Amino acid sequence: MVEATGNTAVERLRCARGFVFDMDGVLYRGDAQLPGVVDLINALEIRGIPYMLATNNSMSTPASYVRKLAKMGIETKPESILTSATATRVYVNDNLPAGSKIFVIGMPPLSEQLFDDSPHVKVEVPEPDTAAVVIGLDVDFTYAKLKAGAMAIRDGARFIATNTDATLPTEEGLVPGAGSIVSALATASGQQPTIIGKPEPTTLIMSARAMNLDPADCVMIGDRLDTDILAGARAGMLTALVLTGVSTRSDIPNADVLPDLVFTDLTALLAAFTGDPV
């Protein structure tokens, strides 16, 4: 089933020059492929239409995502994947002087991506001149990390969040996301973070740039109204919500920004894109 909130939305979908996909809840849930993924990607490749996979997840590198997707029969390349961690690296490199000390709260892949080809220094314990505290989802989060991060921010370190997703869709249901940890640190430090991932448009604008396209020529496909759809609207992209992840049909009327299109899944989106009966 497809629903459009504008008369030209489906036409814009069919004329899109580039696609940006969220991953969790759109391409897969846990380790289970969601319907229509391979067929849609094949349709894009046959037509020579580029795509990017933009995720708020900071716990995996592009290379590990390639391996994960391959196990589900989805073939892609590392350069087609942009994580909130790699986008954060770009932001940090652009905004902090070389040699800056950074304290990281997150899983090892966050640090791997953050400090790859980086002029900055990772510190295991915040020092008086720590320049930034970068936080992502950390399944080993502790009070000690909360205390260290909060004290560093109170002492003047920048507070940078890869994303603020409150939950993460998995095969067992919704589990706490990075946003739950970011909120704890914001409460403890009395400061609000600079957010790199969705709902900010940064990763989507970077994705469009990687495809050599204007954001207005791209469509953002996501499962969350409060991150994917809001970020797509802020970036100036056509937005398509798929109901295979977090947001439900009943959430739509109360959304800050309405999606341009709503699909039950990627199979329905593919049918609308190719002009086949939905």
pLDDT digits (tens, 9 = 90+) for 42-65: 999 999 999 999 998 888 899 999
Contacts of 112 (CB under 8 A, 6+ apart): 61
CB 88 within 8 A of CB 109: no
How much is the pLDDT for 2?
44
Please tell me the distance from the alpha carbon of residue 12 to that of residue 191, in angstroms, as a whole number.
40
Q: Do domains 2-56+198-274 and 91-195 have the same CATH topology?
A: yes
- The predicted-structure confidence for 22-35, as pLDDT tens digits, reads as follows 998 999 988 889 99
Whether the pLDDT of residue 4 is over 50: the answer is no
Question: How many residues does this entry show for the chain?
Answer: 278
pLDDT tier at 277, thresholds 50, 70, 90: low
How much is the pLDDT for 165?
86
Please tell me the pTM assigned to this model: 0.84
Q: 203, 276, 214, 268: which is closest to 21 by C-alpha?
A: 203
How much is the pLDDT for 278?
47
User: How far is the CA of 153 from the CAs of 127, 133, 188, 192, 200, in angstroms?
Assistant: 11, 7, 10, 10, 22
- The predicted-structure confidence for 8-25, as pLDDT tens digits, reads as follows 899 999 999 999 999 989
Give the start-to-end residue ranges of the domains of the chain.
Answer: 2-56+198-274, 91-195
What percent of the chain is predicted at pLDDT more than 90? 86
Mean pLDDT of 184-195: 97
Q: Which CATH number fits domain 2-56+198-274: 3.40.50.1000, 3.30.110.30, 3.40.640.10, 3.30.70.270?
A: 3.40.50.1000
Greatest CA separation for the chain: 63
Please tell me the distance from the alpha carbon of residue 185 to that of residue 146, in angstroms, as a whole number.
6
CATH class of the domain at 91-195: alpha beta
Whether the pLDDT of residue 267 is over 80: the answer is yes
Q: Name 261's bridge partners.
A: 4, 240
Whether the pLDDT of residue 1 is over 70: the answer is no
Which residues are known catalytic residues? 22, 24
Mean pLDDT of 213-229: 96
The larger pLDDT score, comparing residue 169 to residue 159, is at 159
Mean pLDDT of 86-111: 95
Mean pLDDT of 211-238: 97
